[in-house]
Each structure stands twice: as C-alpha cells, then as structure tokens.
Amino acid sequence: MDRWSVLSLLLVVCAVGVALTVGCERQHVWETNLRRSYLERSSSSLSREDSPVEKPLELGEKSELSDYLVYAALNNPGLEAAFNQWKAALERVPQVKALPDPRFTYRYFIQEVETRVGAQRQAFELAQTFPWFGKLKLR
C-alpha cells in the first residue's frame, strides 16, 4: 500500500472511533440522568400500593381515544411487567460495571508432564480478565 492509502485508512479509523466514543458517552450521560431522576422520584413519592385508592377510570359512550389509551396503560399486566423488568435492570447496573471474577485453577497431573524445565506434577493458576480500554465504561 502506498503512503496516502495508509494515511487515509488511518484517518477513517480515527474518525469512526471518535464518532463511536462521543455517541456512547452521550448515551451513558442520558442513562445516568434517567436513572437518577427515576430514583429521586421513586424515593420521594409513594409506591403504588401505598397510594390512596383512586376512583377507577370508567369508560362510557362519551369516552375518547385518550381515555381508552389511559385505561389500557393502567390495566395492562404486560406493561407493568416490562416496567418492573426495567426497574430491576436499573438495580443490576453496578454489578455489570464491575470486573469479571478472578479465576483460581489447580491442576494435578496423574502422570508427570515433561516440560522444558523438568517434570511437572501439579500447576496453580490465577487469572483475571480485563476488558479492552474503554469497554468497561460502555457497559
């Protein structure tokens, strides 16, 4: 490859990297703000079970589309389940941003294994995987 091809390829890779990094940072800030506002609202307001009993929405002949949509949203168990899954996902976030668990391995060989430094009867291994630079913040 000639010099200009290499430089143009490098420029394209850098531009894509910057574009992806900036977009991910905005997403992270947006998620953090959303999480903070949800936690503030849920801690300051009463939960659904503790709130005073409200008169259920009644639909009649004069009901409009918006009334039907509100009724459907309030009485949809699938929507409530999705909301509860979202709340549970918010609680799992700190676990996701942690490093993977380290691994300790012990091996005992039934027969001695010959290596370049001599016979080997057992082996110990301690391993920790690290995500690539910047990947842990993107989780």
**pLDDT tens for each residue of 97-121:** 677 788 999 998 888 889 898 999 9
Residue at 19 is within a domain:
yes
- Domain residues for the domain of 84 are 66-96
Residue in 34, 67, 77, 74 with CA at minimum distance from that of residue 51: 74
Rounded Cα–Cα distance for residues 131 and 100 (Å): 9
Residue at 4 is within a domain:
yes
Same-domain status, 14 and 36: yes
Same-domain status, 139 and 113: yes
- Report angle CA 34, 47, 60 to the nearest 5 degrees: 100
The more confidently predicted of residues 126 and 74 is 126
- Give residue 127's pLDDT band: very low, low, confident or very high (50, 70, 90): very high
Is 0.85 topped by the overall pTM?
no
The more confidently predicted of residues 19 and 79 is 79
pLDDT reported for residue 126: 93
Number of folded domains in the chain? 3
pLDDT, tens digit, 9 for 90 and up, residues 26-67: 445 555 665 666 666 555 444 455 544 455 667 888 888 888
